[in-house]
Structure 1
Amino acid sequence: MNIRLLTPVLLALVVTTSSAQFDVWPAELPHRPDPVIKGVLKIRVAPEYASRAEAVLAELGLSIERRVLPFEQSLAFQQRNGIRPNRDRPMSLNEALVIEERLLRSYVVRYDRPEVPPEQIIARLLMGCGPIECAAPWCVMELCGEPNDPERQRQDLLRTIEVYAAWDIEPGSDTVIIGISDSGVRTEHEDLVEAIFTRTAEIPGNSIDDDDNGFIDDHRGYNFSWKEDASSPGDAFNPNNGHGTSVAGTCGATANNGKGIAGVGGRCKLFPLRTMPNGTTGIVFGYESIMYCAVNGFDVVNCSWGSQSPSCIDQDVVSYAIARGTAVVAAAGNHYSASPFYPASYKGVLGVGVVDAADNVIAMTGRGPTVDVMAPGHSSWSTSNDGAYASFCCTSGSAPIASALVGLVRSRYPRIGPLEACAMVRDAVDEAPWKDIPAEISPLQLPRGRVNALRAVTAHPDTLVSIEVDTIELIAKSGQQRWTVGDTLSARIGLINRLAPWTMKLIGVEGISGAGRDALRATSTAGTIVQREIGLGERFFMPVQDFVVVAETDTAAYVHMRLLGTDRSGVTISRRYSYAVTPSPAFTTLANNDMRVSIGDRGRIGNTDIERGQGEGLRFQDFCGQLYEGGLMIHANGRTVDAVRSIRRNNDHFRPVRRFSGHQNVSGIVSDADAPDSLRIGVEIELGVELDSASNVLRIDGTITNRSDTALHDLAVAWFYDWDLGRQPAKNRTYGGDNGSPFQYVVALGQQQPMVAMYCESPYSDSRPLLAGIDNTTTYGGFTTEMKTQILRDPDRFRYTDVNDVATVTGMRFATPIPPGHRRSFRLVIVIDTSMSSIEALLGQNTWASGQRPTDTLFAAAGPGPVFPNPASSVVYVPIYADYPQLPLVFEICDVTGRRLLAEELGRLPFRAPFLHPISIDVLGSGAYYIRMISGDLTRSWPLVIAR
């Protein structure tokens, strides 16, 4: 598919600002959990394309808006020009430079056709071995709480976390800066005006970047939205949304000034970063603000926002900020689940859940392995956008408490890094003080404790033990890529000892939680005795833990492990770590020396789930991404079900009955149970897929069974293939299928380019090859059910032969009605090579030989003779064993007197014998009959009983 040609007509949500317009695709589960901005992507080019990124991206229909990290703000630029960092603080320089190299080839880009959903563009960009290393949509983040009832009790949280006593030990340093990445902050609020950090080298309001940091007028805050809504770059106030003002007050409202409230951060300074344009209700420039904090040397950045959409580029932004010395603290989300929420779930981020001041766990809070600590941000009291004060809530209120504590820790220990400061806040806690836990939340999914300011500032990094998960390896002992019921799954977990040395002594499974918990059973829950000294900063692996898969699941299970040991003083310590065991990938990849192809559980081949980025596509030698989309299509009784593109998104009508398993030869079963009632046919299809170990031949055997209570008429079963052969996918051509030929071809123009031949065959005489060639651009604007039905019913109308981006629909039609419980089988052979002679040689070896043909094993001959079933009720099958008997082949059904009651003539035979000839006997009544077969001078007959 050529990206420039995408032209679907789709609805979008339009978000309008006073002087700019954001067109936003609304969230649409499951493939798009968050709103995304139309026409904009974040992409990273591969290293070999970095020097000519603009030209390469232009060829793909992409125009560069800006780099994710401007070179002038990079460490490489500073080193080249002998510039010292603007603030001296701990930094992981080597790690920062590694991440920086990736960020310098990462861009915000626009694409030619903004009316096309970004998921379609991204899938194309990532297909194969092209210049795009990773890509993601630009998500609009949700805020994690809003100000509410202004009459609630004031600041009970300060007593809960013992902040008054903490301030006696560490009041906070005015050299520690906490970035408030949010909707905007009322910087002139009476309780915030003195808490704001001022960049003295920047002159406000002159539209000049006086301090040469790359940002105009960022004197007491910065407005990332000024270009979008015609506001001022130095004005961080958002008159339409006070979320950020409340976050700022909780974090750092001035203490001991005789006004309003006291922020948790004491004397630490705040720097507002407005990331929400006028007229919008979501965070648009959140990750840009994190980058700002990194390059400007801030100690902490608070993110009381997030989304459920991960991005490799956003993870790099977070990792880069941490490597340059900025601690990242984020709300765990208000999404009532343990599913990941970003940036809180990115590696290195301190994710914060929410309780109230009485330590009641709030039902909405995010939980699970990536939530590090809880804080009492619910029903708290904070500054408000009208210059007064109001109640604040949710994880939005809990994150700034933790950010402030990280600021206090960095004030007390200025030489520790951001990860160490977060570790102290995470582990110097009140352990599990929960008064009430909602019934829907497993206690196992809650973190070790709730923040305690006094503990955080009195703990010492040389004595506090803190571990965190570094790597997770899950391997099926069967050696297969995926696991299923009966497999043993081995978990090898790598940890980091972030702070003080200690001695590990015992490890055991504490429990399994989550919706998928019943699918796993630990082989042993008894503790494993270990005796190991763990040093500062040491990375180490835990003993392998085995689990038996006891049930299929599409949801994650969370494993919780308990560690026991002693610190350097001999004091017993207990720590817990958790990790997710997600369902095995919903696809299997077959491979030989020249070819790789993925087979999906839901009736797809190649990219098995485009919207979720699953599957490896089809690779042949050095040609990647040769098959963009492959999906099953079935038609009968005027209804069509499929697993291919539709109007708005991909259809997903097939449900796994038995998931694919195996190595070179895999098999699985799907049904159309997930199709809408108006489309569902009531079929089940068993698929056997084999990639030849020595040649570029893929064999797909399908046996479809009628599971409905009515006969299937006009049955057609086929695969839709969107081919992108060679280096120029828009220069493909398809032909073949004329005059009943079972062969179809797709070729890429040019020398030594891939070409594909497909061959269809069935052991049923009522089968007809279904071979259609399509101008693929006609499906970009939506592949309707009506068009699919036309192709499956009358493929001869679709014989597109021009050079273009092409697709094929390849399979079989069956003329005889298929009664309930009856089956049809067919084989599709796909051969790929760079010469037609090689393809034809391989094709000749891969048609069905007599011993390989599947037969309808559902029935066995119950009476004399080879015909079956016998007795029969609606259809009887006659096996034909001789190769090419004399035509025409005549079948007659006679009564016991010899009177002919039914006759039909077969003038066309399947490609080879043996085959099965179905005869419909619906018009005949119950009784005894004879079937007579006449071929030239040869006549054979068999008795038949019809019983209903």
Structure 2
Amino acid sequence: MRQIFTFLILLCGGLLPAWGQVAPATAPGQLIIKLKQGLAPGSSLGTVQPALRALAATGLTQKFPFTQVPSPEQPGSVDLRLIYHCTVPTPLNLAKARALLLATGAVEYVEPVYVRAPFYQPNDPRADSTQSSATYLKLINAYRGWDATQGDTSIVIGITDTGFRLNHEDLVRQIKYNYADPINGIDDDKDGYIDNFRGWDMAHNNNDPSYESVDVHGSMSAGLAAAQANNGKGFLGVGFGCKWLPLQIFPGSVPGAFAGYEAIVYAADHGCQIINMSWGGVGGYSRFEQDVCTYAAVNRDAVLVAAAGNTPANVLVYPASYDHVLAVAATDGGGVIAAFSTYNTRVDLAATGVEIPSTGGVTDTDYRAGTGTSFSAPQVAGAAALVRARFPQLRAEQVRAQLRRTANAAIYNLPANVPYIGLLGTGTLNVGKAVAALNQREARVVQSTYLPAKPTGYTPGDTISLAVTVRNLLLPISGLTVTLTSQSPYVTVRQGTFAVGNLATLTQATNEAAPFRLAVAASGVPVNTSALLRYHFVGSDGYQADQYVTVLVNPDFAQLDAGDLSLSLTSRGNLGYDDLTAAVGLGARYRDGEPLLSEGGLLLATSPTRVADRLRSRGSASRQSFFTLAQAVRLAPGPRADQEVRGTFRDSLPDPQLPRSVGVRVRQHGQSWATPAARRNLILLDYSLRNLTADTLKALYAGIFTDWDLPGNPGLNVARWDSVNRLSYCFDPVASQVYTGVQVLGPRPAGVYAINNGAPAGTPIYLADGFSPAEKYLALSGGFGRTNREAGANQGADVSTVVSTLVPRLAPGDSATVAFAVLAAPSLAELQAAAQAAAALYTQQVLATVPAAPAVLGQVYPNPTTGELHIRLPTQFGPATAQVLDALGRVVVQATLPATGGEITLAALPAGLYLLRVAGPAGSLVQRIVRE
């Protein structure tokens, strides 16, 4: 029967123009939380409960309460009992939840739940499995393999997939039935699953993983791995006599939830020595998913096999790209890479994946052909089962090595595959060679440790040490040397040789005493570059192999951390993190403590419909108003500070049909100091705003949004306003560990709008349904002269603030500067002292850059003065207002002058440096004044 698949390629949310920009799909409102080691599984979780309540989290459950405890005899094993799952309101962003939970000090990581999809392609209508022969079995040398072994019924392959046709004539007798738990409504084997006699439907949490829709993907995957041999019907699986366990992970047409990683744990805990995963998604690296794979492969010694993906590009696809997983790409019948196959340095080997016949699923007797890496992976899973049956002494890591080392490397001799050398693993699956004998060698780098550790990437000019652990998996290797080379022009290897020496089977060695040394180029490095490094293995006995690793350089943010306060500035106006997932950026921290800021960034607006920002909007989305013109780059030291960051971004010009932009170019500038002590608690931020439109902007509001979540009880904070220092500050009213705040600098007016994030519906700013442009404009414009400038009252709440200022008029082509300070300190008094230092510092910098007033604009004398100051203005200048500002930026003298000028007195002021500002209809005059 011929089957034509009419499904689209499902790659976590669809395809975007650039493969690297594909955003992985997530399950709304679902969070994975892993506790730090040391908290007993099943404990009251008292440390994190306040944060969970602040998040309005519900349904907190331990993901894997019955999993195996890590053993010292299994280096690298993990404890899945520390992982929990909960549900939070869908408008909540991940960065908010992450900051709240990490701030407790008891949480190792917080992640969304990624939704993965099957990997199959629409089938060519010419494929007719009733007339074609199973040529793929010849291509992978399966017949020769079956001469050596025909598997064993004790070897079980876990098939994690869509629903299955459990009564199919070629599958029904190969299922691994659980006779310890027959279908009687009782959990006879006490494993937590009632009547799991023939596998489990993880997507719906029931004991029926049978076929539920027109999707035959699961049945086909099962057939390729384990269809019954020698029954005179249809085809046979590569695993020949090995069994399979059905595990449904996709809900199909019935409401449910994707549960691929739960199925991996189930399979590992229920005796599956091989687990097949013909599904996945581009991007979305997850520590939770890696932990699950590590548990199955290391704790439970299972061989994990995954489809490399159907994205025809050099991209990372998960779970195939995780450690301990055998990633399988696809070739056509001639050994050429299939047009749809993903390729990368994480691929281990390839197998045919075009028009592959297998068991169907519409009836109990149908057969059909399918195309995709989904159908390459189960061939390798079946081969892994044969290797385990033939060589039961091998560990999972050795089985993976045996399959890699026996693959057919001749595919790289094909002209069409030359561009993919090193990107299709070691070659194509060769079952016969894999089970023939244990005569292969393979050493692998099983651990790479970068120092200093920078999980978000290294900046231009950084130097890096790289310590590796090399493990020999198969036959002993003599005189082994590992050489590290860079495949990227942006990373140079300064010391790249590790003389390992002789390495016996399953022994390892490390170069911690003399690690590799690398250097990132000081300039010219593209943003978010994934630099490829190659480990080249050479033994004196003739062994050679390559392995690859990547390191992220020039991430799209710059860090100010010269003092006690550390803050990431992104290239598009955000503070702390570049997006709501907190994936890019190091956040805001004080003295290397827990993250303080879940979200922050610049807000600009001229009306409720003309707002520019990259902050939260609705659901888990954020607005994308700003785009980079010049990447944020750090200078250390800078011309004015120990560290300075400069970058440029802008929003789009407003469209009459869609006037949601302001039309401003922004030059951002940040400064941080290591000394003196008064400056260690502050970071100065100033933004030069240029009007790109043809109209005068009146007025232009600018502000900093901050959602602080402070250590202690991050959901119970108080936000208050210090009018003297023009400072909005936040603290924990019960057990404060750190005070944080944002301050307006310079002579411009200051406003603050404090927000209770959990305020009820009907509140002017109601964040439960998102943060709309109109609400952002209200927060920016409504904070001037506001009576209530506090949130959280005395008991505390989950609070945010918008600290703002305004430029009354900004003509076309003109620029204006607004300035703020971000502050943190152990006490309010120290925070206020830092605010005073910031104001003085900013005023000094402004005074140092103010030029003397041109004579055509008037005269100011005497200067220096002992008290009286005469101001003469041109007749066309008009009536004016004169202001004198002190070093803290405060107005200490103000007077109204007639059109031609007048006199003001500074007699009441102490000696020092001051700033005179005279503003009138025809312009302004700014002058430094010395009071003697």
| TM-score, with length taken from structure 1 | 0.79
Q: Does residue 357 of the first structure (1) align with residue 357 of the second (2)?
A: no
Counterpart in 2 of 1:828? 821
- Residue 681 (str. 1) matches residue 663 (str. 2): yes
Structure 1 partner of 2:926 = none
Please identify, of 147-156 and 251-260, the stretch whose mean Cα deviation from structure 2 is larger. 147-156
On the 8 A contact 1:706/1:712 being kept in 2, the answer is: no
Deviations 1:867-913 (A, max 9, x none): 36x99xxxx899999699989997733xxxxxx22314124444449
Q: What is the CA-CA distance between 1:807 and the residue it aligns to?
A: 2.4
Q: Is the 8 A contact 1:242 1:384 kept in 2?
A: yes
Q: 1:306 to 1:885 in 2, by over 3 A?
A: farther
Give the superposition deviation at 1:633: 1.9
Secondary structure of 2:398's aligned partner: helix
Instruction: Give the AA of the match of 1:36.
Output: T
What secondary structure is seen at the aligned counterpart in 2 of 1:451? Answer: coil
The Cα offsets for residues 557-612 of structure 1, whole Å up to 9 and x where unpaired, read as 45253635347xx3x23211111232344444555786544443432333453314
Quote the residue 2:62 is aligned against: 67
Cα distance in 2 for partners of 1:704, 1:106 equals: 46
2:527 to 545, 554, 570: 554
**In structure 2, how many angstroms separate the alpha carbons of the residues matched to 1:67 and 1:940?**
64
Deviations 1:293-349 (A, max 9, x none): 211222111111123333323222221212212111111111233332222122111
Look up the equivalent residue of 1:642 and give its one-letter code: D
Which is worse superposed, 783-792 or 632-641? 632-641
- 1:654–1:940 CA distance, 2 compared to 1 (3 A): closer
Contact residue 147 and residue 391 of structure 1 kept, 8 A: no
| Residue 544 in structure 1 maps to residue 539 in structure 2 | no
Which residue of 413, 416, 435 maps to 1:457?
435
- Distance change (3 Å), C-alpha of 1:551 and 1:700: same
Q: Deviations over 1:81-128 (max 9, x none)?
A: xxxxxxxxxxx943669845x3112223233x3x33563564344442
2:261 equivalent to 1:270: no
- Of 29-38 and 180-189, the range deviating more from structure 2: 29-38
Query: Structure 1 residues 380, 500: closer, same or farther in 2, change over 3 A?
Result: same
1:182, distance to aligned residue in structure 2 (A): 1.0
Q: Mean alpha-carbon deviation: is it higher for 115-124 or for 679-688? A: 115-124
CA 1:741–1:296: 2 relative to 1, 3 Å: closer
Matched, 1:138 2:113: yes
Alignment match, 1:182:
161
Q: Map 1:344-383 to 2 at 5 A.
A: 344-383=320-359
Structure-2 separation of matches of 1:391 and 1:910: 81
Please say if 1:854 is aligned against 2:839: no
Alignment correspondent of 1:667: 644
Q: Which residue is equivalent to 1:40?
A: 30
Residue matched to 1:927: none
CA distance in 2, matches of 1:877, 1:826: 28
Give the 3 Å change call, closer, same or farther, for CA 466–236 of structure 1 in structure 2: farther
Structure 1 residue matching 2:873: 3-state secondary structure: strand
| In structure 2, distance between residues paired with 1:636 and 1:745 | 26
1:629 pairs with one of 599, 615, 632: 599
- 8 Å CA contact retained: 1:887, 1:906: no
Please tell me whether residue 443 in structure 1 is matched to residue 443 in structure 2.
no
1:532 to 487, 490, 501: 501
Q: Secondary structure at the match of 1:352?
A: strand
In the other structure, the counterpart of 2:682 is: 698
Q: Which moved more, 1:907-916 or 1:358-367?
A: 907-916
* 1:93–1:324 CA contact under 8 A, matched in 2: no
Instruction: Return the letter of the residue paired with 1:641.
Output: A
Partner of 1:224: 202
Residue 297 of structure 1 aligns with an amino acid whose one-letter code is G
Q: Distance in 2 between matches of 1:633 and 1:97?
A: 49
Q: Could you list the runs of 5+ residues in structure 2 that have no partner in the other structure?
A: 1-11, 656-660, 759-765, 892-898, 907-915, 924-932
Task: Name the CA shift for 1:689/1:780 in 2 (closer, same or farther; >3 Å).
Answer: farther
SS at match of 1:671: strand
Give, in angstroms, the shift of residue 620 of structure 1.
4.1
In structure 2, the residue corresponding to 1:792 is in which secondary structure? Answer: helix
When residues 261 and 759 of structure 1 are mapped into structure 2, their CA distance, relative to the original with a 3 A threshold, is closer
Residues 106 and 759 (structure 1), Cα distance of their counterparts in 2 relative to 1, 3 Å cut: closer
Partner of 1:396: 374
Aligned to 2:614: 643
In the alignment, which residue of structure 1 is the partner of 2:929? none
Corresponding residue for residue 7 of structure 1: none
Q: 1:855 to 1:494 in 2, by over 3 A?
A: farther
Q: Which residue of structure 2 aligns with residue 162 of structure 1?
A: 141
Residue 657 of structure 1, aligned match among 630, 641, 652:
630
* Distance in 2 (alpha carbons) for counterparts of 1:469 and 1:529: 12
Q: Is the alpha carbon distance of 1:481 and 1:329 closer, same or farther for their aligned partners in structure 2, counting shifts above 3 Å?
A: closer
Residue 394 of structure 1 deviates from its aligned partner by: 1.0
Partner of 1:80: none
RMSD: 4.2
Match of 1:779 among 763, 767, 773: 767
Tell me, what secondary structure is at the counterpart of 1:338?
coil
Match of 1:108, SS? strand
- State the SS of the aligned residue for 2:145: helix
1:151 aligns with 2:128: yes
Q: Which moved more, 1:589-598 or 1:785-794?
A: 589-598
Unaligned runs of 5+ in 1: 1-24, 77-91, 894-899, 917-930
Q: Is the 8 A contact 2:589 2:595 kept in 1?
A: yes
Q: Which amino acid aligns with 1:774?
A: I
What CA distance in whole angstroms lies between the structure 2 residues aligned with 1:888 and 1:27?
69
Residue 21 of structure 1 corresponds to none
Closer, same or farther: CA 746–662 of 1 in aligned 2, 3 Å: same
Q: Is the 8 A contact 2:482 2:500 kept in 1?
A: no
Q: Pick from 716, 721, 729: which aligns with 2:701?
A: 716
Structure 1 residue 457: deviation in Å? 0.9
Conservation of the 8 A alpha-carbon contact between 1:520 and 1:548: yes
Offset at residue 177 of structure 1 (A):
1.0
Distance in structure 2 (CA, Å) of the matches to 1:438 and 1:202: 52
User: Which position in structure 1 is the counterpart of 2:761?
Assistant: none
- Label 1:326 to 1:676 Cα distance change in 2 as closer, same or farther (>3 A): farther
Q: 1:447 and 1:124 mapped to 2: Cα distance?
A: 39
Q: Who is 1:19 aligned against?
A: none
Residues 1:815 and 2:808 are matched in the alignment: yes
Aligned equivalents of 1:878 and 1:717: distance in 2?
A: 33
* Per-residue deviation, 1:32: 8.6
Identical-residue share of aligned pairs (%): 23
* Offset at residue 144 of structure 1 (A): 0.8
1:756–1:415 CA distance, 2 compared to 1 (3 A)? closer
CA separation in 2, counterparts of 1:166 and 1:915? 85
Quote how far apart the aligned CAs of 1:385 are. Answer: 0.6
- Evaluate the alpha carbon distance shift between residue 914 and residue 408 of structure 1 in structure 2; reply closer, same or farther with a 3 A threshold: closer
1:800 is aligned to 2:776? no
**The one of 497, 518, 543 aligned to 1:573:** 543
Tell me if the contact between 1:469 and 1:493 (Cα under 8 Å) persists in the aligned partners. yes
**Alignment correspondent of 2:778:** 790
Equivalent pair of 1:302/1:330 in contact (CA under 8 Å): yes
The 3 A distance-change label for structure 1 pair 416 and 725 is closer
Cα deviation, residue 188, structure 1: 2.0
What per-residue deviation string (whole Å, max 9, x for no partner) do you get for residues 214-270 of structure 1? 33333333333454xxxx614533443210110011112122322211211121111
The DSSP-based 3-state class of the residue aligned with 1:354 is: strand
User: Shift of the alpha carbon at 1:428?
Assistant: 1.0
The CA distance in 2 between the partners of 1:593 and 1:826, in whole Å, is 19
Q: Is the 8 A contact 1:601 1:670 kept in 2?
A: yes
Aligned residue pairs, count? 847
Alpha carbons of structure 1 residues 831 and 906: separation in structure 2 relative to 1, 3 Å: farther
The residue correspondences of 1:591-602 to structure 2 (distance < 5 A) are 591=561, 595-602=565-572
Q: Secondary structure at the match of 2:703?
A: strand
